[in-house]
Structure 1
């Protein structure tokens, strides 16, 4: 827009300069013709009528006395040809016959040095009746003087046009900046939507962008309604699978009691695998329907989880070391963070010998949560697989794989990152989330 505006301003100024130069040239030529006409009348007034009309005296103008001065006069009175001293021995070309009495015209003729001359020609009759003598007067001036005046006018005009162009460019910049400011405000609001600082764009904006903001908010409302329906469908699916899986486990127990342990074990293995897959996929489905507008403070969530885990026999024997400063805000749903941290903290509790440490701290624009136990850790060969999101820590187990899947899903949905490494002793898990707005 600035480039287009600048080109338009330069084009307009160029056209204005050309137009002003043309108007100035016409004005100067009009003044020059009027001056030449007045001079022609003055010369005509010097003609003495009579039987033999003559010129009483030569026009007293120093320009006409200086040779090739650029100012000339010439007249033809009957058969006589008179001209100013400035023409020296040169005669201006004249039409063969005198113009009609009383007529005037402007024309361009070559001067004594080949220069173009602006010429005013007037035809008169001296005397009356048959004794009248035709009088043809030519008064001329060098056109180069007019061209020089136009060049000087343009030279004086260009600085002002340059100043005007600079002012117009500055005004165009201000106009574009002020005009696009509402769009920048919309961009800032959209960024706040992504960081969770705002649930909606709102209508407290310039009137020009309120329709756009309303359309975006309407789309967000429709999306939230669809997400709510998706959550309900996920809950219905969980309840729908719960009864058949429970029935399968009951049938496996009956088979085991009847002595068919192999068949019962096979059914239990299949049922448990199905339950893990269903729980994992339902967790993923629920996480993928989360919006990015939620935020959570890790400190209170960690303290509540520790209180719950301490009520278990194993958790009561663990030394829980918590280091979470207040006021942290991570861009993640509180329920999802609770579920992910619960699974990981329970896993750390199972493998710890005496101590589990949980800390949270800000790192730039992100929030880092670290869990560390003093257990045996994980074999290095399998450590790389643990960091692959959605994989099970122990495919044969009943809880760890789901916990890692949920934690990985939470991180993925919140645009974060999860890393695991052996801390010697124990395993260290780091969860990194974007920091939420105030």
Structure 2
């Protein structure tokens, strides 16, 4: 089984495949773009906040002093946000707990992460806010960004460890005084910026997505329009409403259109020459046969054989002239043929008068040659009129490109044995009984040439014979 047959029915359309591909491309790419832009903006805003915290750190470091009494900080800072209670911008300085307890020189690296820290100073803005028990304590000369929670709100903290030198009492050595400066900022504003940007970004992306879908559908419609036009023209040719492809197509399809037109012209011309040759052959054979039949001394037995030869020639010529083998592109409106026959046959069978009723689908199409359809309908109706007492019914149905023709009469019907003989191979054209002669043989051969189906039975509505012919689209 091929890959195409395994696909769902709607995916077997080229148009459906292009539309699904375009939709998948848009629906995958656009969210990826949105996620990437949103993450990039978030990182940019966070980077800006980090740079801001670094700047505040240097401002705090500039006013930090250490003397014999310990850490000295001004009462008020230049950045007013540090002086406003719970302003969202905070500063704190921690020192190692061991340093505060002993107040004596030590060469031990007091900025170790494992050493406990205590808060030596905090800005006025931290009033009423409890700091966590453990704050980041990076190595001396290094900074660290991290996230903490204050009053159940997310905050960004920047910690940097430095060490001050203060002289000893005798003035000949130095004492290290390590501290860690913490700059803390509320992330509410940061989250608001990110959220606002995300909402605006996704809103515009959805608008862009809708716009791209409209543009994509318009582009696909414009791109596939030549295919739709080609399909319409082929359908018109198939239904007998046109004989050539007339539209101008893009370069890729123009060559196909030219080849199809060449094929159509070649096939039509070849069929025409073939029929003309058969007509000439029929004419050349009928003239000598007519001369033989006109001989006065011709015995009745010879006359019958000549007549039989004449009938066989007519039958085989009509069979050979059938366009079924090459008429895939032809289409005939059945009603045009049936109306002519129903109108003319009662003029022939007027004693007694035969009434022909119609139940015909006016949109029915016969995919074949008009002469073949006329031959099938004409012979079926002619046989029905011969066998009917007073009434014939012609029914034509057309559904899902399937054509069904039914001809019924109110005559005596056909024997079951003769019905079986009609479908046996090798039955000669003259073996049918009166009323169902060579005409039915022609119908059988024409139906077979179109790969149709001929059934014979008894009519439930009129009581006589029922001839049913079915053609697939």
Shared fold by TM > 0.5?
yes
Q: 1:14 aligned to 2:35? A: yes
Matches within 5 A, 1:14-93: 14-43=35-64, 57-58=73-74, 60=76, 71-72=92-93, 84-85=120-121
Partner of 1:331: 365
**Which residue matches 2:114?**
none
Q: Distance in 2 between matches of 1:167 and 1:385?
A: 74
Alignment map for 1:349-388 (pairs within 5 Å): 349-358=385-394, 370-381=406-417, 383=419
SS at match of 2:324: helix
Separation of aligned partners in 1, 2:299 and 2:196: 114
What pairs up with 1:22-421 in 2 under 5 angstroms? 22-43=43-64, 57-58=73-74, 60=76, 71-72=92-93, 84-85=120-121, 95=140, 107-108=143-144, 118-120=158-160, 140-141=181-182, 154-155=194-195, 157-182=197-222, 183=224, 186-187=227-228, 190=231, 193-194=234-235, 196=239, 199=242, 203=247, 210-211=250-251, 214-215=254-255, 217-239=257-279, 241-242=281-282, 246=286, 273=312, 276-283=315-322, 286-290=323-327, 292=329, 294-296=331-333, 298=335, 301-305=337-341, 308-309=344-345, 312=348, 315-324=349-358, 328-332=362-366, 334-358=370-394, 370-381=406-417, 383=419, 397-406=437-446, 409=449, 412=452, 420-421=456-457
Unaligned runs of 5+ in 2: 1-20, 100-104, 111-117, 123-130, 150-154, 167-171
CA distance in 1, matches of 2:400, 2:146: 84
Contact 1:64–1:72, Cα closer than 8 Å, also in 2: no
Number of aligned positions between the proteins: 400
Residue 228 of structure 1: CA displacement? 1.3
Distance in 2, matches of 1:247 and 1:119, equals 120
Alpha-carbon deviation of 1:337? 3.2
TM-score by length of 1: 0.64
With the length of structure 2 as denominator, give the TM-score of the two structures: 0.60
- Aligned residues of 1:320 and 1:357 also touching (Cα < 8 A): no
Shift of 1:29: 0.9
Task: List per-residue Cα deviations over 1:136-194 (Å, max 9, x = no partner).
Answer: 99663368x68887666555554445444543443343233323334378447625743
Relative distance call for 1:109 and 1:291 in structure 2 (3 A) is: closer
Q: RMSD between aligned alpha carbons?
A: 5.8
Question: Quick one: distance in 1 between partners of 2:205 and 2:289?
Answer: 85
